[in-house]
Amino acid sequence: MTKTLKGIAASDGIAVAPAYLLVEPDLSFSKTSVNDVDAEVERFQKAVKESIAEVEQIRDTAKKSLGADEAQVFEAHLMFFNDPEFTGAIEQEIKKQKVNGESALDQTAQKFISIFEGMTDNAYMQERAADVRDVSKRLMAHLLGVSLPNPALIDHEVIIVAHDLTPSDTAQLNKKYVKGFITDLGGRTAHSAIMARSLELPAVVGTAEITKSVKNGETVVVDGLNGKAVVAPEKDEISKFTQMGADFAKQKAEWKKLRDQPSVTKDGKHYTIAANIGTPDDMTGVRENGAEAVGLYRTEFLYMNSAELPTEDDQFKAYKAVIEGMNGKQVVIRTMDIGGDKHLPYLPLPEEMNPFLGYRAIRISLKQQDIFRTQLRALLRASAYGKLGIMFPMIGTLNEFRQAKKIYEEEKAKLLKKGTKIGQDIQVGMMIEVPAAAILADQFAKEVDFFSIGTNDLIQYTMAADRGNEHVSYLYQPYNPSVLRLVKHTIDAAHQNGIWCGMCGEAAGDSVMFPLLLGMGLDEYSMSATSILRIRSQMKKIDTNDFKDLVDQAINVSETNEDNAKLVSDFMAKHTK
């Protein structure tokens, strides 16, 4: 029977395809004793063989669809299956304790994981703990006779249905077959949603129960324009949604005509519209959508898509590719922002009650300086190839910025001493995403070259509402006067101190927020590449002479998010046609 679920529209577009459930099966088991240990060992060996065959197939498919680098992690897994020290130890436990394979596997895996995690002076060995976890999960599934989802094996068009998608799950999706995704959890600014936008995949998140409502292979609609998912649609609904998808594609084609036009208002004022990217691969979208700069390169995806810490050279190559690709237009690269909802399997972080308020971003960089210094060297070397801005995420105090800048200066001095070529006019700026920094923007503005306002975090911290939690998504209010006051204060502080101010949070590409930001004189608008032409088209319709008291109304008269949504909608209706 048809069922419609309401969620959050996370990425534009509409798609209809069979569902692919990316849901882990129950892997719980009971410890039992066995009499015939030889038969149990044989059962275990059969699970090993099946796991090897499965991983070999995944590796081969991943190599073809995603490339050799992405497939490398599976080679590491195969080594474990074939390692007698690991699988042999499990067989020994079965024999010694006369227990079932599941129990022997669990005990042995736990032992290996704690040994690897304990090797705190050897990052490479520490990273192996994640491999043991993966390998054991697969073995356990085979022992229990259940199957794990294997997204790398998808070979036909599907819509991914998941409880939640981590950014690294999202990074592994093959765009050729994955037509969209729907999740139980998440908000518009969760990183999986941001990735969906950069992949131009329609997405609906926060439906609460899609994984319980749809079976593998059943037809689903993902309506990323209206935040709806439809399970088992009737024929007429399929044609309605297919038509809506086609209309949207037509609208997009209209916007595409603006690709090579400058971003100007009706009265001819130019403001930079830039793109947010996660990997050098996103440069295709940057070009196709006519971005005038890269306003945010989230470098953490480079770390997340790698099986170990990326080397200085790996990073240099990625940064250089992006900087060169922009042909002299500015590229703002943000230093690693790990923590919160972004994790590295090979860099264990402490278990935290509130990861978004915890050990994250610049806080990690200032503590684990070897990682930070490597990144800064790679950035400095890449700066020789164009116009680079470096910015630090999650700065909360002047002291944090000063420490980060000092480390940057030290690495720069060392490279210059060695005769390394670096850019002449690198700018060093910061994200404004912690309310403390927004409030003190006038002090920060005296020390930085630019600001980039990160509304995704600034809103969650101002409203005390987790950006990825659908239960409090009603509090995620970009146009709330409190948020707008912080934004305006930041822009004013920048301008009073002669520096530029951009915004790289998702609000920069929001059609309601945009006229307000333009009214405040924000200099640069950095957004998912797919939003650029829609905003450029909106910009062309706005005459800045019409603003008059729009911003004053928004921050001093309006009381709510909704008041401001209406204020902007009335403004657009009155002044643009």
- Name the site residues for ligand PEP (rule: CB under 6 A): 296, 298, 337, 433, 454-457, 504-505
DSSP per-residue codes, 204-229: EE--S-HHHH--TT-EEEEETTTTEE
In whole angstroms, the minimum distance from the beta carbon of 229 to ligand PEP comes to 24
**Three-class secondary structure of residue 536 per DSSP:** helix
Alpha helix (H) ranges present in 326-397? 362-367, 369-382
270 is catalytic: no
Give the integer Cα–Cα distance in Å for 382 and 372. 15
Place of tokens 């590229």: 331
Q: Which of 191, 343, 489, 501 is catalytic?
A: 191
Is the Cβ of residue 455 or residue 561 nearer to ligand PEP in the bound state? 455
Neighbours of 350 (CB within 10 A): 8
Partner whose footprint covers residue 455, from ligand PEP, Mg ion, none (CB < 5 to 8 Å by kind)? ligand PEP
Partner whose footprint covers residue 504, from ligand PEP, Mg ion, none (CB < 5 to 8 Å by kind)? ligand PEP
In whole angstroms, the minimum distance from the beta carbon of 111 to Mg ion comes to 38
Partner whose footprint covers residue 108, from ligand PEP, Mg ion, none (CB < 5 to 8 Å by kind)? none
Is the Cβ of residue 355 or residue 423 nearer to ligand PEP in the bound state? 355
| CA–CA distances in Å: residue 115 to residues 107, 110, 119, 129 | 13, 9, 7, 8
Spatial CB neighbours of 175, under 8 Å, sequence gap ≥ 6: 199, 201
Of 237, 227, 248, give the one whose Cα is nearest residue 183. Answer: 227
The residues facing 291 across adjacent strands are none
Is the Cβ of residue 21 or residue 390 nearer to ligand PEP in the bound state? 390
Is the Cβ of residue 228 or residue 298 nearer to ligand PEP in the bound state? 298
Partner whose footprint covers residue 298, from ligand PEP, Mg ion, none (CB < 5 to 8 Å by kind)? ligand PEP
Give the integer Cα–Cα distance in Å for 372 and 334. 11
Q: Which of 77, 343, 501, 504 is catalytic?
A: 504
191 is catalytic: yes
Neighbours of 82 (CB within 10 A): 11
In whole angstroms, the minimum distance from the beta carbon of 408 to Mg ion comes to 20
Residue 566 host element (H or E): helix 561-575
In whole angstroms, the minimum distance from the beta carbon of 190 to ligand PEP comes to 9
Is the Cβ of residue 433 or residue 470 nearer to ligand PEP in the bound state? 433
Is the Cβ of residue 245 or residue 468 nearer to ligand PEP in the bound state? 468
In whole angstroms, the minimum distance from the beta carbon of 432 to Mg ion comes to 10
Buried residues in 389-419 as b, exposed as e (16+ CB within 10 A): bbbbbbbbeeebbebbbebbeebbeebeeee
Is the Cβ of residue 128 or residue 467 nearer to ligand PEP in the bound state? 467
Neighbours of 44 (CB within 10 A): 23
Is the Cβ of residue 159 or residue 338 nearer to ligand PEP in the bound state? 338
Question: Pairing mode, if any, of strands 228-231 and 3-6?
Answer: antiparallel
CB distance 539 to 458 below 8 Å: no
CB distance 423 to 387 below 8 Å: yes
DSSP per-residue codes, 121-151: T-HHHHHHHHHHHHHHHHHHHHHHT-----G
**Three-class secondary structure of residue 250 per DSSP:** helix
Is the Cβ of residue 16 or residue 193 nearer to ligand PEP in the bound state? 193
In whole angstroms, the minimum distance from the beta carbon of 151 to ligand PEP comes to 23
Query: Which residues of this protein are in contact with Mg ion, per CB under 5 A?
Result: 433, 454, 457
Place of tokens 């993902």: 222
Strands (DSSP E) contained in 399-530 are 427-432, 450-453, 500-503, 524-528
Take residue 339 and report the two structure tokens written for it. 């923590």
Give the integer Cα–Cα distance in Å for 565 and 90. 61
In whole angstroms, the minimum distance from the beta carbon of 460 to ligand PEP comes to 8
In whole angstroms, the minimum distance from the beta carbon of 502 to ligand PEP comes to 10
Is the Cβ of residue 16 or residue 513 nearer to ligand PEP in the bound state? 513
In whole angstroms, the minimum distance from the beta carbon of 342 to ligand PEP comes to 8
Neighbours of 560 (CB within 10 A): 12
Helix/strand/coil (H, E, C) string of 2-69?
CEEEECEEEECCEEEEEEEEECCCCCCCCCCECCCHHHHHHHHHHHHHHHHHHHHHHHHHHHHHHCHH
Partner whose footprint covers residue 505, from ligand PEP, Mg ion, none (CB < 5 to 8 Å by kind)? ligand PEP
In whole angstroms, the minimum distance from the beta carbon of 187 to ligand PEP comes to 11
Active site residues: 191, 504
